Chain A
Amino acid sequence: MPFGNTHNNFKLNYKVEEEFPDLSKHNNHMAKVLSKEVYGKLRDKQTPSGYTLDDVIQTGVDNPGHPFIMTVGCVAGDEESYEVFKDLLDPVISDRHGGYKPTDKHKTDLNHENLKGGDDLDPNYVLSSRVRTGRSIKGFTLPPHNSRGERRIIERLSIEALNSLDGEFKGKYYPLKTMTDAEQEQLIADHFLFDKPVSPLLTCAGMARDWPDGRGIWHNENKTFLVWVNEEDHLRVISMQKGGNMREVFRRFCVGLQKIEEIFKKHDHGFMWNEHLGYILTCPSNLGTGLRGGVHVKLPKLSTHPKFEEILTRLRLQKRGTGGVDTASVGGVFDISNADRLGSSEVEQVQLVVDGVKLMVEMEKKLEKGESIDSMIPAQK
């Protein structure tokens, strides 16, 4: 957040011990990694736009833990954060992304035809399917740090790009500022809109500043392809529909994303990407593909099975409540999605979801019949 920690040079008058945050009650990735040595090494640095170490970690200092997930506890303020603060962020990335090394390379594969199957998930169980990712626009700082002026330019560029889409992607932009309360409630209930920023994970990182200035949602006429502008990332791109046809969701996702990227590139504002970290986003947890592909699926029996967590882990999947990351499940319906983001491609991650959910639905059916699922428990993927 740009304002709490701006007088960085002034702070250097105080010793490391005096400034070091109290992380004794904390349980997030940043707290596990940040030592006085690392703090001492990085505290006098800043990125070209002035983002500092204390800016990076403030959200993790202010939020010791989360009831459902292990949070990252740090954010990037710009593309250069991942370089300037690599002594903190590389170990955080490694911890969060299954041992990913600073020398590893990430592969990008947005060719939807490489996905096998995915069009036959049982709609009696799989209520909806969704794929989302984020994109950052090169040349601008990220939501924790950006100014009102930058945010407005990002919005303008996004609107221009999106308004030029046609066919199945033809749609309209709804700025948050002028949306009516009724429209807004409807979009939230449809799982289309992002929350008003009440999560302290976001607010403590400064991402809710100036709300709702420069924020909005664009969607196509069918409401199957949506873009969020200026929430936790510059852009969040979402493809979704009711039922279990993940294949179709992923096709539309890839095609739409690539169309958008072409338009931005033509205007000399490509997306932030590099060979090592893939797509650069605000939260280190979203590096790589930034992709979360998932379903809302009814698993009342399987979810109470003692091996449920184990199965999810082996399938490299993650569960959430149907309200999103900060919620619990309701009525046996879970949001199941890929746990990985970095080190595997988009196609590989969606494949895991498709195969894994298919298996879990079969397990659910077995349990309904009173049969055992022990022989179906998968090996670690």
Chain B
Amino acid sequence: MSFPNTTKAPRADFPDLRKHNNCMASALTPGIYARLRDKTTPNNWTLDQCIQTGVDNPGHPFIKTVGMVAGDEETYEVFAELFDPVIKDRHNGYDPRTMKHPTDLDITSGFFDERYVLSSRVRTGRSIRGLSLPPACTRSERREVERVVVTALAGLKGDLTGRYYSLGDMSEREQQQLIDEHFLFDKPVSPLLTAAGMARDWPDARGIWHNNEKNFLIWINEEDHTRVISMEKGGNMKRVFERFCRGLKQVERLIQERGWEFMWNERLGYILTCPSNLGTGLRAGVHIRLPLLSKDARFKKILDNLRLQKRGTGGVDTAATGDTFDISNLDRLGKSEVELVQLVIDGVNYLIECEKRLERGQDIKIPSPVPQFRK
């Protein structure tokens, strides 16, 4: 949308980013802003809309945020001049102009010591091609996403048989129960989401689907059209990932039967709202107790070299309580799903080894850095 009666000169509208620390603020220059400001995607999504969340949220206490979102699939093309450097910055030098992203959803091994690992989880997101993304979507588009996905999920069978719970119809008690079990998404209070318009019309067309065993879940219309989650207590990451891949493939088949498909391309992999989730959109992680290692001064460096990230057990905007951490892969783009999960498996096993060594009074080593993309 333009603001016709003001500022013809882009310079006058350029945001003040001097106190900002996010990827968008690092990449956006007056030159780029001037060239892109008056462009729109076919759905009329604009640059100002992409960056609003980054302008409104200068920084985050725990992580360097991206500071911009896509309104639709075409955003990544029309505003490539800004998105490409941001993607490169966020994804460790991955260059969308020259590189290709590999997709691979067939697993290998992975069991963890359950004295340390309390639970294992893999999540990703998927967008339905042809419908705008959460920052931009209209109410009808959002309702259409819900319809398409819920219809498809009704076709899942066996251990994946399940049920849909619309957020609007759920009782407060059901909702609190699902939050406590780490199943449900938060009411949108994070300014990162609200400033990007993702909470509009809440709770219209939002909901959660899960199988009867509550180890395969789909969030509908939160930060992405869908978030797909496989999880269970304990350390059997292999089973978690196997179910993840199987479920994901079945859902894809079911929507394709009705003429829909996921947003994906060779350059960027799976297209999601936040550039940080491009590629695999995959976050594989565990809740793990590391009382000794977490107090060791080398903890951060070890995580960095293993390409792992720590969060609190409440998710991205929380701090760790006690000695229990959420440890997951940092990367999303440039490595396949299998590679990333393997990385988590190897990394978490290394962390457990370190914890055991510290228990025994032995010393630990910082591992050498895991290599970046295959060239």
Q: What is the chain B residue whose CB lies nearest that of A6?
A: B1
- Of A90-98, A146-154, A245-253, A310-318, the one contacting chain B is A146-154
> CB within 8 Å of B: which of A14-52?
14-15, 18-22, 48-50
How far in angstroms is the closest Cβ of chain A from B18? 9
| Complex CA–CA separation, A293 to B102 (angstroms) | 65
Q: Among the listed A19, A22, A49, which residue makes an inter-chain contact with B5, where contact means beta carbons less than 8 Å apart?
A: A49
Q: Among the listed B3, B56, B200, which residue makes an inter-chain contact with A58, where contact means beta carbons less than 8 Å apart?
A: B200
Which residues of B lie under 8 Å from residue A1 when comparing CB positions?
A: 197
Q: Among the listed B5, B43, B194, B195, which residue makes an inter-chain contact with A7, where contact means beta carbons less than 8 Å apart?
A: B43
A selection of 14 A-B contacts at a CB cut-off of 8 Å is: A3-B135, A3-B136, A7-B45, A7-B138, A15-B140, A22-B204, A48-B4, A48-B5, A50-B2, A58-B200, A147-B48, A148-B13, A150-B3, A213-B15
How far in angstroms is the closest Cβ of chain A from B193? 11
Q: Could you tell me if B139 and A18 are in contact, using CB atoms closer than 8 angstroms?
A: yes
> CB within 8 Å of B: which of A118-154?
139-141, 145-150, 152-153
Q: What is the chain B residue whose CB lies nearest that of A148?
A: B13
Q: Could you tell me if B3 and A210 are in contact, using CB atoms closer than 8 angstroms?
A: no
- Does chain A have a CB within 8 A of B16? yes
Which residues of B lie under 8 Å from residue A324 when comparing CB positions?
A: none
- Does chain A have a CB within 8 A of B12? yes
Q: Among the listed B4, B12, B14, B56, which residue makes an inter-chain contact with A50, where contact means beta carbons less than 8 Å apart?
A: B4
- Does chain A have a CB within 8 A of B202? yes
Q: Could you tell me if A6 and B3 are in contact, using CB atoms closer than 8 angstroms?
A: no
Write the residues of chain A forming the contact surface with B, with a CB cutoff of 8 angstroms. 1-7, 9-11, 14-15, 18-22, 48-50, 58, 61-62, 139-141, 145-150, 152-153, 177, 203-204, 208-211, 213
Q: Could you tell me if A208 and B16 are in contact, using CB atoms closer than 8 angstroms?
A: no
How far in angstroms is the closest Cβ of chain B from A360? 38
Q: Mark B9-51, 1 if CB is under 8 A from A, else 0.
A: 1001111100000000000000000000000000111101100
| Complex CA–CA separation, A363 to B15 (angstroms) | 54
| Complex CA–CA separation, A2 to B299 (angstroms) | 45
Number of B interface residues at 8 Å Cβ cutoff, please give it: 39
How far in angstroms is the closest Cβ of chain B from A327? 19
At the interface, is chain B mostly helix, strand, loop or mixed? loop
| Complex CA–CA separation, A148 to B12 (angstroms) | 7
Q: Mark B139-169, 1 if CB is under 8 A from A, else 0.
A: 1110100000000000000000000000010
Given contacts A3-B46, A209-B55, contact A146 B3 (CB under 8 A): yes
Which residues of A lie under 8 Å from residue B135 when comparing CB positions?
A: 3-4
Q: Could you tell me if B143 and A18 are in contact, using CB atoms closer than 8 angstroms?
A: yes
Q: Could you tell me if A149 and B200 are in contact, using CB atoms closer than 8 angstroms?
A: no
- Does chain A have a CB within 8 A of B201? yes
Can you name 19 extra interface pairs (CB under 8 A) apart from A148-B12, A209-B52, A213-B16? A2-B1, A2-B49, A6-B46, A7-B44, A10-B138, A19-B140, A20-B139, A49-B5, A50-B2, A58-B200, A61-B201, A62-B202, A148-B15, A148-B16, A149-B7, A152-B12, A204-B194, A210-B55, A211-B56
Q: Could you tell me if A6 and B44 are in contact, using CB atoms closer than 8 angstroms?
A: yes
Q: Among the listed B3, B14, B168, which residue makes an inter-chain contact with A141, where contact means beta carbons less than 8 Å apart?
A: B3
Q: Could you tell me if A147 and B56 are in contact, using CB atoms closer than 8 angstroms?
A: no
| Complex CA–CA separation, A154 to B141 (angstroms) | 37
Q: What is the chain B residue whose CB lies nearest that of A22?
A: B204
User: Which 8 pairs, one residue from A and one from B, show the smallest C-beta to C-beta distance?
Assistant: A149-B7, A6-B1, A149-B12, A18-B140, A14-B140, A7-B44, A3-B49, A147-B3
Q: What is the chain A residue whose CB lies nearest that of B143?
A: A18
Which residues of B lie under 8 Å from residue A211 when comparing CB positions?
A: 56
How far in angstroms is the closest Cβ of chain B from A241? 35
Q: Could you tell me if A141 and B5 are in contact, using CB atoms closer than 8 angstroms?
A: yes
Q: Mark B106-150, 1 if CB is under 8 A from A, else 0.
A: 000000000000000000000000001001101111010000000
Q: Could you tell me if A62 and B56 are in contact, using CB atoms closer than 8 angstroms?
A: no
Q: Among the listed B1, B13, B138, which residue makes an inter-chain contact with A11, where contact means beta carbons less than 8 Å apart?
A: B138
